[in-house]
Every structure is written in C-alpha cells, then in structure tokens.
C-alpha cells in the first residue's frame, strides 16, 4: 500500500487573528482610501497653521490661504492677538471657565458617584433613578433659561459653569468604576477606623486616577469648546469666552479692528491671518492636554462601563 500523499494541492490562506489575510489588491485599496481620508483631514489643518504663521505679504499674494509659508515664519498675528483687547480677554475668560468648571464638575461627579456606589446609603436607589432619568430626558432650552433667570445668574460666568457641572453619563461611569474597587481594601480601612470621607479621599480617588483623568478631560473639553450657553446667557461682550469670539470673527465674518486687539494705530496683519491664529489658539490647549490623558481612555471608560 502506498504512503498517503501529504502534499497540499491548493495553497491555504494565511490567517491573521483567526481571519483570512486580505489580498494585495484589497490592501492597496484600503491604503489609498485611508491616505485620502487622512489628507482630507490634515490638509485644512496644515493650511490653518501655515496661514497663521505666514507673513502678511505672502497671505495677500496667496489670496488669503497659504499651504506652506515660503517667506519664513511671521508671528505678527499672534502678537496682535495677545497684545490685549477682546481676544486676550476672551482667552482669560475661557481659561477661568475651564479650570473652575472642571474642578467643580470633578468634585461633584466623583462625590456623587461614590455615594451612589455605596450600597445601603440613604436614598441611594431614588437618587440613582433620578440620575438615569436626567440622562434620558433633556429639560429643554426655555426651562433652563428660566431657571438661570430665577437664580439671578444672567450675564454671569456662573451661568456657563453651573448648569453643566454634573453630567449623568460621567456620574454613571465613575460610579461603575467605584463599584469595581476591591472590597477587601475598603473593609480593611473601615476596621482601622477610616471614615467614609477618608475612604473616598485616600483610597477611592487614588485607585481611580484613570477614570478621573478621562472624566476630567471630558469636562475640560466641554467647557473650553462651549459657546452656546455664553450666547444665551452673556450679553456683556467682555465676558465672552474664546469660542464665542471665534464664532463672531470667523464664522460670522465680523471684521477685527485694532480696538478689538488692543493695538494702536499700527497696521494689522490680514484678517485671514488673525482669524487662523485665533483658531489655532482655540485648538492648541486641548491638543497639548490630550496626549497625556489618552493612555487612560481604555482603562477609564471601558473598565468603568463594564464593571458594576
């Protein structure tokens, strides 16, 4: 009897992660598609940076949009913005709203999440139900405005900070993370005489840095990018945040004068350069913070969403 033939007559597909590896044509098409998508995203961003850094003469020659500056880097647009006036004031206002709002929001969200995660707390279930209901139903624009008006917060920065200081989604994520903390550690601390506040401050928060960082980034981005609340509640332009000023000068096309930038009689850079510089200043803070928090996303959001 002849030995069995172990030769494979047909080439077996290579498996990657249990799935057959795509062919060369499919990979080329995917690479081309992703390259086009990346180019569509990167091209405007590069143009914004280049226009804000190009010399006034080059911006005028290019018709207002410079892809790559050839005359060198010119910072006159940024100097004009940071010399004082409406734009500089709006940057300070946005910084105040973001820092104070994020601090208050984190404190309220973490304390509420901790209270909801402790079984046996008085009013635990009704309060959790109230949080879930607020997650499903929006109070509406007119009732929100009337509440702000009744509390006397119109034309105050607190009208932009307080109404959005607690997000039901973030409370649920933080609560789920707190529920997943090791019970043995908390019980050991209770035996040693630790109060509930000490458990929260010295054990709960240090063990939950990932979810606190993620939720803090959510709040910070929301406060920094918010303009609709300021548009509704702030009538004094000196209290406008940067995003509302950006909307006024860039989206609505209002011309920026020397009085808006705090400058004197000297010639201003082209309007396009100033607009792109304002746009870059509104983007850069988030771009600087995001890389430091990015590594916490998977652990903070996914773990907090799965456990509990």
pLDDT, residue 42, reads 87
pLDDT band at 8 (very low <50, low <70, confident <90, very high): very low
pLDDT, residue 128, reads 85
pLDDT band at 3 (very low <50, low <70, confident <90, very high): low
More confident site: 257 or 167: 167
Mean pLDDT, rounded, for 234-261:
81
User: What sign has the CA pseudo-torsion 76, 80, 82, 88?
Assistant: negative
pLDDT in tens, 145-171: 999 999 999 999 999 999 989 988 999
Mean pLDDT, rounded, for 4-18:
51
Mean pLDDT, rounded, for 162-189:
87
E strands along the chain, which residues?
15-16, 19-20
Contact 216, 102 (CB under 8 A): yes
Predicted TM-score (pTM) of the model is 0.79
CATH of domain 80-306: 1.10.3720.10
Contact 307, 177 (CB under 8 A): yes
Mean pLDDT, rounded, for 264-287:
81
pLDDT, residue 195, reads 83
pLDDT, residue 213, reads 86
270 alpha carbon, distance to own chain's centre:
30
Contact 204, 178 (CB under 8 A): yes
Give the contacts of 244 (CB within 8 A, at least 6 positions apart): 90, 227, 230, 231, 234
- Average pLDDT over the chain reads 82
Query: Residue ranges per domain, the chain?
Result: 21-74, 80-306
Cβ atoms within 10 Å, residue 146 = 12
pLDDT in tens, 54-85: 888 888 888 878 888 887 888 888 888 888 77
Q: Is 262 exposed, middle or buried (0-12, 13-18, 19+ CB in 10 A)?
A: middle
pLDDT, residue 196, reads 82
Mean pLDDT, rounded, for 238-265:
77
Asked if residue 39 has pLDDT above 80, the reply is yes
pLDDT in tens, 187-229: 888 888 888 888 888 888 888 888 888 899 889 989 999 888 8
Contact 134, 153 (CB under 8 A): no
pLDDT band at 32 (very low <50, low <70, confident <90, very high): very high
pLDDT, residue 14, reads 52
Mean pLDDT, rounded, for 264-289:
81
pLDDT, residue 308, reads 42
pLDDT in tens, 82-95: 887 788 888 899 99
Q: Is 15 helix (H, G, I), strand (E, B) or coil?
A: strand
pLDDT, residue 78, reads 87
Q: Is 12 helix (H, G, I), strand (E, B) or coil?
A: coil
pLDDT, residue 305, reads 47
Alpha-carbon gap, residue 135 to 308, rounded angstroms:
18
Asked if residue 5 has pLDDT above 60, the reply is no
Cβ atoms within 10 Å, residue 258 = 15
pLDDT, residue 106, reads 94
């Amino acid at each position: 009897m002849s030995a069995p033939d172990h030769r494979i007559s047909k080439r077996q597909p290579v498996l990657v992660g249990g799935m057959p590896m795509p062919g060369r044509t499919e990979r080329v098409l995917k690479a081309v598609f992703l390259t086009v998508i990346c180019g569509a995203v990167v091209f405007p961003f590069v143009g914004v940076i280049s226009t804000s850094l190009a010399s006034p003469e080059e911006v005028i020659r290019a018709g207002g949009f410079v892809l790559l500056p050839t005359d060198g880097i010119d910072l006159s647009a940024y100097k004009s913005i940071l010399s004082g006036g409406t734009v500089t004031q709006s940057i300070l206002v946005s910084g105040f709203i973001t820092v104070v709002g994020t601090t208050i929001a984190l404190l309220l969200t973490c304390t509420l999440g901790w209270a909801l995660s402790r079984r046996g707390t008085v009013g635990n279930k009704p309060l959790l139900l109230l949080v879930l209901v607020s997650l499903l139903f929006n109070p509406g624009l007119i009732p929100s405005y009337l509440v702000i008006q009744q509390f006397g917060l119109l034309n105050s920065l607190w009208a932009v900070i307080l109404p959005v200081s607690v997000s039901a989604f973030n409370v649920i994520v933080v609560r789920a993370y707190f529920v997943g903390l090791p019970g043995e550690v908390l019980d050991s601390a209770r035996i040693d005489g630790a109060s509930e506040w000490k458990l929260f401050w010295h054990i709960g928060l240090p063990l939950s840095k990932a979810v606190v960082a993620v939720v803090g980034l959510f709040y910070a981005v929301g406060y920094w990018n918010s303009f609709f609340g300021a548009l509704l509640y702030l009538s004094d332009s000196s209290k406008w945040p940067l995003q509302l000023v950006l909307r006024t000068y860039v989206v609505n096309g209002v011309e920026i004068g020397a009085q808006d930038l705090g400058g004197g009689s000297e010639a201003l850079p082209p309007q396009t350069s100033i607009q792109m510089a304002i746009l870059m200043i509104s983007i850069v803070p988030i771009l600087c913070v995001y890389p430091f928090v990015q590594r916490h996303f998977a652990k903070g959001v996914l773990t907090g969403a799965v456990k509990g």
